[in-house]
Chains A and B, each alone.
Chain A
Amino acid sequence: MKKTELFEPGLTERLSREREKDWRKNLRREISAQKRLTIPRHKMPEQPPAQRIRNFLEVNLGYSLEMAKEEAQRCLDCGNPGCVAGCPVAIDIPTFIKYIEAGELDKALDKIRETNGLPAICGRVCPQEVQCEKNCNLVKAGKEPVAIGHLERFVADYLSLRSELNIEPGCVNSSRGKIAVVGSGPSGLTVAADLARLGYQVTVFEALHVPGGVLAYGIPEFRLPREILHSEINFIRSLGVEIKTNFIVGKTASPSDLREAGYSAFFLGTGAGLPGFMNIPGENLLGVYSANEYLTRVNLMKAFRFPDFDTPAPAARKVAVIGGGNVAMDAVRTALRLGAAEAVIYYRRSRAEMPARVEEIRHAEEEGVVFNFLTVPVRFLGDEKGRLRGMVLQRLTLGEPDASGRPRPVPVPGSEFEVEVDLAVVAIGQSPNPLLVKQVDGLKLGRWGNVEVDSETMASSLPGVYAGGDAVRGGATVILAMGDGRRAAKAIDKFLRKC
């Protein structure tokens, strides 16, 4: 519980106060725990693999109301909800689930939104299996955990048509101070929403022409439909947050220009936009792409609708994706949907070390993606026109754990072999986008160009300047970025009250 109390003192008391309300007690009594334990976890309805690799529609179709209510009944409403402790933004999970069981969906959504401004997104992209669901007490009873992510998504989607809830947007008061949030990804949107609710005037500056950051350029539509993203962003706008697109802080205006324009606190949520390459021969051949470019073309620029949309994506028959994270899964599944006959993952460790969400790996396998573990490319091969025609790979074995705690891949001498490919996507990770942070005088950066912050307040080395998300962490998750945003909002509020 310690971690969550970091940003919310008294959480435990609040959870148990909610739990002791009469309606909760009654609901617990309605169905016995014994009976609840017999209900099997509801599988997420999905598009069948053969169908979905022909389209960019969402793979997961979502629960029906009945399924959601039944899944909610599986939750024992236990007295020590481990799920909340596993959630980086400490959503009151038992309360929202019990509201679903009681059929009070409005209240369920309001409860989630108390601590999470982007529930439809988190329900889709959070790695629940290592967070809330990992700590579910059903697991201890030898059962599958409650499908918390699916339920969160259900509530958000079910009510997405309902106009703006019980939030009062009229409370923005410019005399409380103007705040500049740089970047409209998950951390920036969260800090903006929290501060707007506290009455601050918040402007979010986005370099691209569409808000959402990695949610817009990185995550494919088959995982996160854009209508969902837009409605979540509209919700944040409805709180009084202004989002300025096509505005590159550090280029269009400098931070000192913004200070002169009256912004008294800054949050840098500039993300991990710098694509990593392997620095091996042939990497600049035609046909070798960073995952960022490949996914940006398809997701942000909608290349999957080319030529109706103007931006093309590379056409390819044999696609190799290098990496084992969510970005690699997104890229390889995108390649299939764009018509690849063969889509292969090359990952330098083994299956157990793959950082991708379990669901993404399963979906990729179902769709026919081939996985090659313990292999790494050592050079790309081109034809006389500079086009990629193949690559040379090397086998690896796992050695002693490295700094990340994972076993270090060790090359096997003489194990090189060649494969034919006409498109290679490099998805080995991103580092913080240097464009802004490198030109702010006095801003302390870490080894990877990440902004150094106090982990409790997200305060940087400069007074009034805060940072969070991938700009601080490198490539992490949406929900961790949102947790950073929440902590930063609290600290910024405190900072400005003293000013």
Chain B
Amino acid sequence: MNRIILNERLVPNIFHLVVEAPEIASSARPGQFVMVIPDEKGERIPLNVADWDKSKGTIDLVFMNLGVSTRKLAGFKTGDFLEGVAGPLGRPAEVVDFGQVLLVGGCYGLAGLYPLARELKERGNQILFLAEARSRAYIYWENRIRKVTDEFLTAFRADCFSSDKDLEEIILGLKSWKPQLSRVVVMGCSYLLFTVSEITRKIGLKTRVNLNPLMVDGTGMCGACRVTVHGKTYFACVDGPEFDGHGVDWQEYFSRRKAFLSQEELALVHLVKKLDSQE
């Protein structure tokens, strides 16, 4: 059981939990995730570690309220307990001297990339941070991120299906503005990971994507999170979650993420009904 120290809504639909987890707080690294079990009937879902405080023994989790589990999480109050948090899992993101690095974050990925930005910056890298969102109203942690980055840029899209032109222009423009740029790391919705990878593929700019497939145990035991990268099958939970965006079989990735879509809808309806009857 892990106590919730804070639960706040950052922007419509994105929440920030601070949770007691002293052992994880002292071992977490950028790019890793934890498995969270909201309550005794809950699923195990992976959430990126958005920050940690060793001295206080807490970790920060930022997530979008989307399905049953995140809806349960969003509903917790300070002082409530989570059924369990396990981690940190996955391989940490690489933190070495890259020179200039572009971090592209959308949705929960703004927060998820924050510790990577901070540590890359501490290593002496120049950090360009591109925040992608529907509009300015959906940008959070801007000041926090600005403190550990050199440039903070934004790309707004009315919805997922509108043109990627802005994003493309920004990234291509960046490359000519910062010719030393050698690496991109992307975290956020699947569509963003895919889109950025396709843009950078054109100019041969190395792009790492932090994948978020379905998981069950998160420790390499079930293979729910199988992804194909450069023709080889990997388990995202132990071999990733970060992979070469230019090698990911995106069609398979999108399709596998939807494996339980109809059940997920059913579960959500079930939960909403239950919550309604409690009121």
Contact = CB atoms under 8 A, between A and B. Distances in A.
Nearest to B223: A290
Interface stretch (A42-50, A114-122, A222-230, A270-278): A270-278
Contact of A307 (B27, B89, B266): B266
Contacts of A434: 220, 238
Interface in B29-73: 37, 41-44, 68-69
B189 interface: no
B263 interface: yes
B84 interface: yes
Contacts of B69: 310
The dominant DSSP class at the A interface is loop
A207 B222 CA distance: 14
12 contacts: A209-B37, A209-B83, A209-B84, A248-B86, A286-B255, A289-B224, A293-B223, A301-B43, A307-B267, A310-B42, A312-B263, A386-B251
A16 to B, nearest CB: 46
A227 B264 CA distance: 29
Given A275-B223, A284-B228, A308-B41, A297 B216 contact: yes
Nearest to A290: B223
Given A283-B233, A386-B255, A306 B223 contact: no
B43 A310 contact: yes
The dominant DSSP class at the B interface is mixed
Contact of B23 (A247, A292, A293, A297): A247
A275 B222 contact: yes
Contact of A253 (B27, B224, B255, B271): B27
Contacts of B233: 277, 279, 283-284
Given A252-B24, A293-B216, A435-B219, 4 more contacts: A289-B223, A301-B216, A306-B267, A433-B219
A251 B87 contact: yes
A246 B86 contact: yes
A248 B219 contact: yes
Top 10 nearest A-B pairs (CB, nearest first) are A312-B263, A293-B222, A386-B255, A273-B221, A246-B86, A307-B270, A209-B84, A290-B223, A310-B43, A309-B41
Contacts of A217: 217, 221
Contacts of B221: 217, 273-275, 292, 296, 433
A35 interface: no
B270 A433 contact: no
A445 to B, nearest CB: 16
A103 interface: no
Interface string A256-274: 0100000000000000011
Interface of A: 207-209, 217, 245-248, 251-254, 257, 273-275, 277, 279, 283-284, 286, 289-290, 292-293, 296-297, 300-302, 306-312, 314-315, 385-387, 433-435
Contacts of A310: 41-43, 68-69, 267, 271
Interface in B1-48: 23-24, 27, 37, 41-44
Contacts of B27: 251-254, 257
Contact of B84 (A245, A274, A300, A385): A245
Contacts of A302: 41
Contact of A209 (B44, B220, B259, B260): B44
Nearest to A287: B259
Contacts of B84: 209, 245-246
B87 A252 contact: yes
Contacts of B246: none
Interface string B251-277: 110011011100110110011000000
A273 B88 CA distance: 18
A1 B127 CA distance: 69
A315 B260 CA distance: 9
B276 to A, nearest CB: 15
Nearest to B89: A251
B219 A284 contact: no
Contacts of B87: 248, 251-252
A307 B226 CA distance: 25
A207 B256 CA distance: 25
Contacts of A207: 86, 217, 219
Interface in B214-253: 216-217, 219-224, 226, 228, 233, 238, 251-252
Contacts of B228: 284
Contact of A247 (B44, B86, B263): B86
B101 interface: no
B211 interface: no
Contact of A311 (B23, B216, B251, B255): B216
A386 B219 contact: no
B219 A274 contact: no
B50 to A, nearest CB: 18
Contact of B259 (A253, A290, A314): A314
Nearest to B2: A246
Contact of A385 (B89, B226, B255, B266): B255
B263 A284 contact: no
B88 A252 contact: yes
Contacts of B266: 307, 312
A256 to B, nearest CB: 12
Contacts of A254: 27
Contacts of B181: none
A433 to B, nearest CB: 7
Nearest to B255: A386
A293 B224 contact: yes
Contacts of A311: 43-44, 216
Contacts of A297: 216
A208 B271 CA distance: 25
B116 to A, nearest CB: 18
A301 B271 CA distance: 17
A308 B40 CA distance: 11
A135 to B, nearest CB: 35
A408 to B, nearest CB: 26
Nearest to B260: A312
Contacts of A308: 41, 270
Contacts of A252: 23-24, 27, 86-88
Given A252-B88, A386-B252, A306 B263 contact: yes
B85 interface: yes
Interface centre among A289, A293, A301, by most B CB within 10 Å?
A293
B175 to A, nearest CB: 33
B192 to A, nearest CB: 21
A208 B267 contact: no
A435 B86 CA distance: 14
Nearest to B42: A310
A237 B120 CA distance: 45
Contacts of A286: 255-256, 258-259
Contacts of B216: 293, 296-297, 301, 311
Interface centre among B88, B223, B233, B266, by most A CB within 10 Å?
B223
A247 B34 CA distance: 11
A207 B271 CA distance: 28
Contact of A296 (B23, B222, B238, B255): B222
